[in-house]
Amino acid sequence: MPWGYWLPLVLRRVDVRTLGSGNAGATNVWRTLGFKMGLAVALLDIAKGSVAAVLGLWLGSDLVGVLAGVAVMVGHWRPLFLGFARGGKIVATTGGVALAVAPFAALSAAGVWILLFLAFRYASVSSMAAAVSLPLFAWLYGASWPVLAFTAGAALAIILLHRTNIRRLFAGEEHRMALRRPRLGASKAVGARLEPK
């Protein structure tokens, strides 16, 4: 369910993969089409991660819930409905899975994301810091070993998927997020200029 691709296509008749970074994730939707659209995509991505993990927990154990969550995260990264082309960077979907299998850890990591974003306005920095904090919070809250393994693996995956962001940060080329909605006509040029593929 590539919501970052579907919502802009249905509501704005635009392929978000042609804008900004080319990612079909919530951050690129936010950056190019505005906060409301980005938030809607993020919430839907969180929901799909949570639903998958909750169904896994209901059908079995923490391990089944984690495996179901990992499956939906992989599907978010390489969506079936996009021909396994590049999707999102699994941040929101990971948050959704974590909400199901380790809710207190997920909420604490979300707090890290919000605080860092408000302080620096870098979505990439907030996402990576929240990802790294997730296994620490899971351990502090006494999560089971499948959940600990999941949170550690998800943190590593999120860091790896943000490799280009890390390079831009060190080069001083990563740009800050804005809450104002850009004009659609200008978003193509601005997004392409600020964040090359």
Residuewise pLDDT in 10s, the chain (197 residues):
877 778 788 788 888 788 877 777 777 787 888 878 888 888 998 999 999 999 998 988 889 999 999 999 998 888 787 777 777 788 889 999 999 999 999 999 999 999 999 988 888 899 999 999 999 999 999 989 999 999 999 999 999 999 988 998 888 888 787 766 555 544 444 444 444 43
Report the amino acid identity of residue 166: I
Distance CA 26, CA 117 (A): 15
Residue pair 136/142 in contact by the 8 Å Cβ criterion: no
Is residue 170 one of the residues assigned to a domain? yes
Is residue 67 one of the residues assigned to a domain? yes
Distance CA 162, CA 182 (A): 24
Q: State the total domains in the chain.
A: 1
Closest CA to 74 of 181, 196, 161: 161
Is residue 107 one of the residues assigned to a domain? yes
Query: What's the pTM?
Result: 0.80
Angle between helices 91-101 and 62-77 (to 10 degrees): 170
The DSSP 8-state label assigned to residue 179 in this structure reads S
pLDDT at 193: 40
The DSSP 8-state label assigned to residue 181 in this structure reads P
pLDDT at 139: 96
Distance CA 138, CA 149 (A): 10
Is residue 13 one of the residues assigned to a domain? no
Is residue 31 one of the residues assigned to a domain? no
Polymer length of the chain: 197
pLDDT at 179: 61
Q: What range defines the domain where residue 56 resides? A: 46-84+92-177
Is residue 165 one of the residues assigned to a domain? yes
Distance of CA 25 to the CA centre of its chain: 7
Is residue 37 one of the residues assigned to a domain? no
Tally Cβ neighbours within 10 Å of residue 155: 21
Distance CA 165, CA 197 (A): 11
pLDDT at 48: 92
